[in-house]
Structure 1
Amino acid sequence: MKSKLTWILTSFMVLCVSFSFAQGKTVSGNVTDQEGLPLPGVSVVVVGTTSGTQTDFDGNYAISANAGQVLKFSYIGQKTAERTVGSDNVINLQMQEDAQALEEVIVLGYSTRGKNEITGSTVQLKSSEINDVPLVTVDQALQGKVAGLTIASSSGTPGSTQDIRIRGVGSISASNDPLFVIDGVPVISGNFSGSTSFSSLSALSAINNQDVESITVLKDASATSAYGARGSNGVIVITTKKGKQGKTSFNYTSSYGVQDFAVDQPTPLTASQREQLYYDALYNTFGDGGNNFTRAQAPAEAPTRGGWGAYAAWIDAGRPEGNWGEEVKRNNPTIVNHNISASGGDEKGSFYASLGYSKTEALVVGSDFERINGVFNFTRNFSEKLKFTTNMNVSNTRQNAFLEQSAFFANPFLSRYFMPPTEQPYNTDGTLNTNMNTSLFNTLYLAENDIAENDLTRAIINSSLEYEIIDRLKFKTRFSIDYNLSAYRRYENRIHGGGLADGGTAESSINRNFNWVTQNSLNYTFSLGQHNFDLTALQEYQKNKTNYLYGAGENFPVDGLTYLDNTSANFAVSSNFTDWANASYLGLLNYNFAGKYIFDATYRNEGSSRFAPGLRFGDFWSVGAAWNVSSEEFMSSVDFVSQLRLRGSYGVSGNSGIDINSYQALLGFSADYDNQGAIFPTGFGNSLLTWEKNANYDVGVDFGFFDDVVSGSVAYFNKRTYDLLQNVPLSRTTGFSEVATNIGEIVNKGVELDLTFNIIRSNDLNWSLSGNYATLDNEVTKLALDANGEEITITTGTRRIEVGQPINAWYMRGWAGVDPANGDPLWYVNGTDGATTNDYNAAEVAYQGENATPQYSAGFGTHFDFKGFSLDADFYTAGGHKVYEDWSRYTKSNGTFSTRTFNGTSELLNSWTTPGQITDYPALQANAGDGNRASFTSSRFLYEGDYVRLRNLSIGYSLPSSATKVLGMDAINFSVRGTNLITWVKDDRLKYDPEVRADGFTRLTTPPVKSFVFGVNLKF
């Protein structure tokens, strides 16, 4: 978009050269950009003569020239083009963007800088990489696009939260989530589900990606320190679209698609397979090959053994197969998106307005997502000195999400693994079966008769007033509101399921989160010769408050009633209020000498109400420098170097991502003692608690060769987190198990590489390759000391945090395979190698190689376009880590959990049956749900997490301008896009989707999906 000054200069040039046309015939036509949109005020001259344009500022022109003469077309930000005048007197031209002439502007939140003016490590995605990606939450577009950023979905249910980590995991007990900034203001992100243990709903699901102009990821101290404590884990800056000068233009997009699982899931046992395995288990446990009964005689012996009832009823019914996996899965669930926007403006102001609708069905019954949103962004110049801007984004999001965050019996997706296939979804008359010989529920019935709904209304209003006090000195005041109203409702019917014993149950909650931010800043820019200065002083105050109200009840009088006010027994109610505040004072300095030498410095004094008075304020700062080597005179003779710059930064930021009031000794008042209120201690408190800190240095090189045919960057980072907000164990004599303290250190370091190859660049044909690669080395270097002065270790059932180890190191017994002689499970005595034992308790616990965090991640892609046709493909890969198969105790048990109580997966068909047999699945047992502990925690269920995924594949076609003009349109584009189409997994034992959350566990939630989407885009 041209600035007002650029517009005036261009118009002036056009008018000046139009006074002396060359004599000859009139040549006319229209000029558009690479997207087919008109370019008003293009300069057109006849080469070799003094001639210029006549234009109506709508992309059309008329000029006097002779046949054979050459016309030169030029426009700011576009590549100059020449065309020879022919006999038809018409030249229509589609210009191409000139990346060298139009330097990329990086949005840093509090400021914007030219790409060659920054010293920090940043990556910016443009709207073309965001708008058309068929994803519910806009942050999903970042996967594979940013070196050093890893992202994974908590669930494939539409609207679920994402786990995002930038340059590793830096904290043990505090938050590791990045800060999100929308249009310059920090906003609230995270899970807005009314029941976080049942489902997740991302606050970013309220943002329509069609309204996003750019997303910038800030990674190092120079880029993030302006945000102080909140920037400790990186910052993601989202900028929404603004209006452009010119006539009002409209943009309508519509897409429709279908979905499926991104990978094949583990195959559940059929009822017949499960029956045979049960007989094997009976023989292995009770038979002896002759003296009692043989394996072939096991079916006859089954009625005399416990647990036969389920099989007996199934056999009597004719052995029907209950295919729960197919029954709970939707066939070709759809994605529907519609969005219309308008943009326009004049020399005094501009506007952008849009209305969007999105609906996405989940892969399993009972879940879907729907959103409607509206945006209005408006800018007005009240005078030459006074400018007003407001951005408004309002949306309503509804998500049906059935118990997705754990192994609940009512989770539809879980039915394929937990529900015995001997049970039938339907009765013989076609009605849903609610009389089953199992403790599990018919999730098909629950999907039709129960309710689990999240409803989020979000309003983000951001207004600013900018006044130029004197030349180049500007005062800006900004006020922003982020209001989130989350309503949750759950109903369990009284006929079947969890509500049966209580006559039906209902619960509802309302969560109101009100976040407001005010900013006041002074910005002064000036130059002393070739010394250029940009100074900013900013004051910011942020206040957040949450009101929560919850109610529950039981016993409905009749069917069909679902709301809480119709219940009649066991009422429960609760409510609470929380608030916190941040106050900050910020100074920014950016200096450059002749555009060659760059220096910037940031200082932020920030206070948080989460800490005790006297310790609330912390000082955070950074310094950075860059040298644009390619701007030096001595580089003018080095023709093949188009850009070369060195940069480095160092700084300190902080982290306050802990529960409020953690520094206080707390009392609770919710106890009931003989129907009287009671007070009890709930928090030990630590009055010395203060900021977790983060020292981060970064050095890098940005380069371009052969007119940027090859371009990219390479960087090294080292991020040391110290004064960790760590929960340290307490003596039980205190009455508490732990207390939050500031002690401990973690180091994350690695290398990041970005490369782009522009193989072919021309008006009609373009082809490019791009990629990024990042390594990550994570190590705990210091922890708290125990009463004996020894460094503590933090051990869970699967992991241990210890000095010298990664923060997510797997720590468990080492699996040694199956004894071929008798089918017993074996573990290493010392935990890793050597001697083995069949006694689980006799095996030591030890570290098992890689940790849960990927040690490398990468993205690579290609773009190709030819005369209106385009092809894009993007891949993502991560690896060097291990993932653990959660819930294997149920699906791969060699006891009755997998063959009698629940259901196993097809890998159990490889279970040991014959002496000398080599297999990794021990002999099945029929005397305990867990068998002989073969499915207990061990490295047996640790898998290499390396994978490669075809993240995006799109094919597009843009009608030529000659055709769109006949139709009265500016541009018409068609596209077919696929996401997550192909996934390659290194470890063929890993049957679940390899894209797991940051904790490294597979889950029995709906996995990520692949989709096929057809779209159309109309511009008029």
Structure 2
Amino acid sequence: MRTKFSGILTLLLAFVVQLTFAQEKTISGTVTDDTGLPLPGVNIIVKGTNTGTQSDFDGKYSIKTSVGQTLVFSFISFKTVEMAVTAATSSLNVQMVTDAEELSQVIVTGFAVKREKKALGYAVSEVAAESIEQRSEGDVARVLSGKSSGVVINNTSGISGSATNINIRGYNSISGSNQPLFIVDGVPFSNDTNPNGNFLTGNSGSSRSLDLDPNNIESISVLKGYSAATLYGSEGKNGVILITTKAGSVSNTVKKTEISVIQSVFTNEIASLPDYTKKYGNGFDQAFGNFFSNWGPGFFADGLGGYLEPSSGINPDGTFPHPYSRAGLADVFPEFQDAVLPWKAVPDHVKDFFRDGLSLNTSVNIAGGSDDGKYNYNFSYGRLEDEGFTPGNKTTRNNFSVGGRAILTNKFTLSGTLNYAITDFITPPVAFSNGSSAQNGLSVFGDLFYTPTNLPLMDLPFQNPLTGQSVYYRADDRIVNPNWIVNNSHVSQLTNRFFGSNMLAYEINENLNISYRVGIDLYSENTEVATNRGGGFPADIDLGEYTTYNSTNTIWDHNFMLNGSYSLTDDLGLNFTVGATSKSENFERFGIRSVDQIVFDVFRHFNFRTQTRLNFNDNNIQNTNFRNINGVYGQADFDYKNYLYLNLSARNDWVSSQIDNSQFYPSASLSFLPSVAFPDIKSTNGINYLKLRGSYGTSAGFASGFPISNTLNLNPNFFN
């Protein structure tokens, strides 16, 4: 009897175990958007538990659950979907629907805090990855052109890799900088344009935003106005450009390892040229002469100003002396002595100087993570080869980037990014020019654009084969042949850059989290300005010059931040951020300038007779600048019934380089959605969404350098 009872008990236990296992099952399916396309990155969790997963690149997912539980599908800008698991459920295909009522595009604001766009009472615009990738421009600053209202971007010249000037909502300073603050993955990023000359002598350098790979950017947010940038204090007074790289956004990476390759090829050409007369040639007052001018005799024979006029200087058969038919070049170019050229307009005499540019852009991205979402990673490599339409101009860049995020035990989360960029830029020089010649340095555009229409520029030799000096149509060599400039003078910058950050976050509870981020941005820029002797004019350029210097900039940034989110009542919510930040920046420059070249085409300082002190833009070839800025900040966001939002922000900064070193910046903004507060005003053919907003903000800047200190200029001399 006892044996029989034991057998029944064993059978009952096996049945219970079998029933328990039968209740646990794996549910799989596909998540799509409202157009039927697969939706990757959708969060799927078992309601009331920590069990979850994400849909992969094809929108597919798989998750373990039990009968009676509920799966919750959520994704930004889509309505949340809940699906119950029954005994008959083996797969669930879910179609997500756009949340039209919310229109809740999530925007990255100050210090990477995400807010719904409808809740913002100040101006913020976002540029998504689709608008940035596969563009012909290699500089992210140029990619932004036309992508955000109120942002004006100008290039110093049309050459590839040239510097950019960014202005958000007008100029705030007459003498100071008007450039916005760049923030990359939460860390300040220097967008310096280090001058290798001034407006007169030419500044052909690039801006350091060129070091960023547009194909490795996940999104860009542009903060406009004082209230939007209050949390960044004095450095945000000109606006803030927040850049999130793919390595810095790994929290959204799907679990399945994905490899994406982008290869793009673009061609470019010069967009516009001056309008040249096809009626008159070189000279003044209808008389021929080798000048920077097209006011000579006409290309017609008879009539007022025609070349048959006795004073025209043109041969009766409609020819003029070859510009190289002169005594000084008789031994060098005997074939041109007593030669003539037809007196007529040469088609495309300037346009043929330029070439068709070619830009090759390659990007490889690898992203993935664990099945449970506790860690994920991203690796990117990009290469840019941009050959501009100007001969002698090229930009080459290699970018390496890695990022990761790991959820540790005890509510800690560790994340970080590392980036390395090598940018190599070279161009012919550009300087101020007028109707006579370049005035303070060589200018490939100035010497080119003034070329008379009767000269076949591309058919003329540009270099004396014996001395190497420039040869052109003006006998006194006051005008330099632009082809000689391209082949004998250049400005180059080779930049190595390292930037990245590490952040440790701790979740105190479901309402509070605390984080610490440390970031670094370090670049070393080696600039070379080189010209062979024989340039002709100006006189010091004719001797040849060679300038080399290094510019190194280091930024260390520390940020301690506490974030909270509470529902004060059923209708009133509160989000707040308080924190402290410390930023140190150190800039060093050193180098040397040499003149009077000994051996042609050898660019080493020992090959020049004289080493001189260089001074441009009131900056010596060797200088140091450094300062620290410490700040505390706070922000509180109140929302009432999802239609009224109030933001209060403030920051106080202290700078190390001034006695009066404290600045306080308060701001406030309000956002009101009448279409949500009063639903009856909405109609199918009328208003479907209405938002009113207003803001108030203040800002100020600290003086650069050491404004309170007397400086001693050291200029030692030899005494006999």
TM-score, normalised to structure 1's length? Answer: 0.54
- 1:914 corresponds in structure 2 to none
User: Is 2:351 the counterpart of 1:318?
Assistant: no
Aligned twin of 2:105? 104
Amino acid across the alignment from 1:354:
S
Greater strand fraction, Structure 1 or Structure 2: 1
Task: State the partner residue of 2:310.
Answer: 300
Change (3 A) 1:74 1:522: closer
Matched residue of 1:655: which SS? coil
Q: Tell me the equivalent position of 1:597.
A: 644
Question: Does the residue aligned with 1:643 lie in a helix, a strand or coil?
Answer: coil
SS of the residue 1:119 aligns to: coil
Q: What's the offset of the Cα at 1:617?
A: 0.5
Q: Distance in 1 between matches of 2:220 and 2:234?
A: 21
Distance (whole Å) between structure 1 residues aligned to residue 503 and residue 312 of structure 2: 77
Matched, 1:661 2:706: yes
Give the Cα separation in 2 of the matches to 1:523 and 1:40: 25
What is the deviation of 1:96? 7.4
Per-residue deviation, 1:518 = 0.9
Q: Write the letter of the residue equivalent to 1:418.
A: Y
Partner of 1:649: 695
Equivalent-residue separation in structure 2 for 1:562 and 1:401 (angstroms) = 16
Listed as ranges, the matches of 1:510-909 within 5 Å are 510-530=550-570, 531-570=572-611, 572=613, 574-610=621-657, 612-613=658-659, 615-632=660-677, 634-635=678-679, 638-640=682-684, 641-656=687-702, 658-670=703-715, 672=717, 675=719
Determine which of 129, 137, 141 is the counterpart of 1:135: 137
The 8 Å contact of residues 190 and 203 in structure 1, kept in 2 or not, is answered as yes
Query: C-alpha deviations, 1:344-373, integer Å up to 9, x for none?
Result: 113211111110001111111111111110
Please report how far the alpha carbon of residue 516 of structure 1 lies from its aligned counterpart in structure 2 after TM superposition.
1.3
Q: Distance in 1 between matches of 2:324 and 2:279?
A: 9
Matched residue, 2:493: 454
Cα drift, residue 336 of structure 1:
0.6
Q: Of 150, 153, 156, which aligns to 1:151?
A: 153
Pair 1:260-2:269 in alignment: yes
Separation in 2, partners of 1:173, 1:56: 52
Matched, 1:415 2:451: no
- Taking structure 1 as reference, are residues 518 and 647 closer, same or farther at Cα in structure 2, changes over 3 Å only? same
Distance 1:607 1:506 in 2: 42
Give the secondary structure class of the aligned counterpart of 1:445.
helix
Letter in 1 for 2:471: N
Deviation of 1:465 (Å)? 0.8
Whether the 8 Å CA contact 2:188–2:521 is kept in 1: the answer is: no
Structural mapping, 1:1-80, within 5 Å = 39=40, 59=59, 76=75
1:344 aligned residue (360, 368, 377): 368
8 Å Cα contact 2:155-2:165 kept in structure 1: yes
Counterparts of 1:431-510 in structure 2, within 5 Å, are 434-436=470-472, 437=475, 438-496=477-535, 504-510=544-550
Displacement of 1:42 in angstroms is: 9.6
Equivalent position of 2:229 in the other structure? 224
**1:493 and 1:225 mapped to 2: Cα distance?**
51
Residue type at the aligned position of 1:128: E
CA gap of 1:92–1:427, structure 2 versus 1, over 3 A, is farther
SS of 2:282's partner is helix
Give the structure 2 partner of residue 371 of structure 1.
397
Q: Distance in 1 between matches of 2:454 and 2:681?
A: 79
Can you list the C-alpha shifts for 1:846-889, whole angstroms capped at 9, x where unaligned? xxxxxxxxxxxxxxxxxxxxxxxxxxxxxxxxxxxxxxxxxxxx
Task: Indicate how the Cα distance of structure 1 residues 18 and 668 shifts in structure 2: closer, same or farther if over 3 A, else same.
Answer: same
CA RMSD of aligned residues (A): 4.3
The answer to which of 369-378 and 272-281 deviates more is 272-281
Residues 1:259 and 1:501: Cα distance change in structure 2 (over 3 Å): closer
* Equivalent residues in 2 for 1:159-174, closer than 5 Å: 159-174=161-176
Q: What letter is aligned with 2:241? A: I
Between 562-571 and 468-477, report the one with greater CA deviation: 562-571
Distance 1:97 1:358 in 2: 39
User: Quick check: 1:109–1:181 contact (8 Å CA) kept in 2?
Assistant: no
Structure 1 residues 20, 144: closer, same or farther in 2, change over 3 A?
Answer: closer
For residues 56 and 452 of structure 1, what CA distance do their matches in structure 2 show? 48
Seen in structure 2, the aligned counterparts of structure 1 residues 443 and 94 have a Cα distance that, compared at 3 Å, is farther
Question: Match of 1:212, as an amino acid?
Answer: I
| CA shift in 2, pair 1:41/1:620, >3 Å | closer
Change (3 A) 1:635 1:501: closer
User: Counterparts of 1:941-952 in structure 2 under 5 Å?
Assistant: none
Conservation of the 8 A alpha-carbon contact between 2:104 and 2:117: yes
Q: Secondary structure at the match of 1:416?
A: helix
On the 8 A contact 2:516/2:561 being kept in 1, the answer is: yes
Quote the Cα distance in structure 2 between the aligned partners of 1:548 and 1:18: 67
- 1:383, distance to aligned residue in structure 2 (A): 2.0
Counterparts of 1:17 and 1:144, CA distance in 2:
57
Equivalent residue number for residue 278 of structure 1: 286
Residue 187 of structure 2: which of 185, 188, 191 is its match?
A: 185
Q: How many angstroms does 1:278 deviate by?
A: 3.4
Match of 1:360 in 2: 386
The answer to whether the 8 A contact 2:121-2:646 is kept is yes
Distance 1:121 1:74, change over 3 A: same
SS at match of 1:300: coil
1:328 corresponds to 2:317: no
Q: In 2, Cα distance between the equivalents of 1:41 and 1:424?
A: 64
Match of 2:329 in 1: none
CA shift digits 1:740-795 (9 cap, x unpaired) = xxxxxxxxxxxxxxxxxxxxxxxxxxxxxxxxxxxxxxxxxxxxxxxxxxxxxxxx
Change beyond 3 A, Cα 1:564–1:271: farther
SS in 2 for 1:319: strand
1:535–1:589 contact (8 Å) kept in structure 2: yes
CA offset at residue 186 of structure 1?
2.2
Change in Cα spacing, 1:623 to 1:38, as seen in structure 2 (3 Å) is closer
1:435 shift after superposition: 3.2
Instruction: Quote how far apart the aligned CAs of 1:295 are.
Output: 5.7
How many Å apart are 1:41 and its aligned residue?
7.9
Q: Which amino acid aligns with 2:367?
A: S
SS in 1 for 2:603: coil
Q: After superposition, give the CA deviation of every residue in 1:498-557 in whole Å (9 maximum; x if it has no partner).
A: 699776432111001111111112222222223322222211111111111111224555
Report deviation, 1:650. Answer: 1.0
Alignment identity in percent?
A: 22
Correspondence for 1:209 among 214, 229, 232: 214
Partner residue, 2:14:
none
Q: Which structure 2 residues correspond to residues 381-400 of structure 1 after superposition, within 5 A? A: 381-400=407-426
Question: Alpha-carbon deviation of 1:79?
Answer: 7.9
Residue 491 of structure 1: CA displacement?
1.8
The residue type paired with residue 415 of structure 1 is: D
Letter in 2 for 1:126: A
Change (3 A) 1:503 1:580: same
Shift of 1:297: 8.7
In structure 2, give the amino acid aligned to 1:644.
L
Question: What amino acid is aligned across from residue 448 of structure 2 in structure 1?
Answer: R
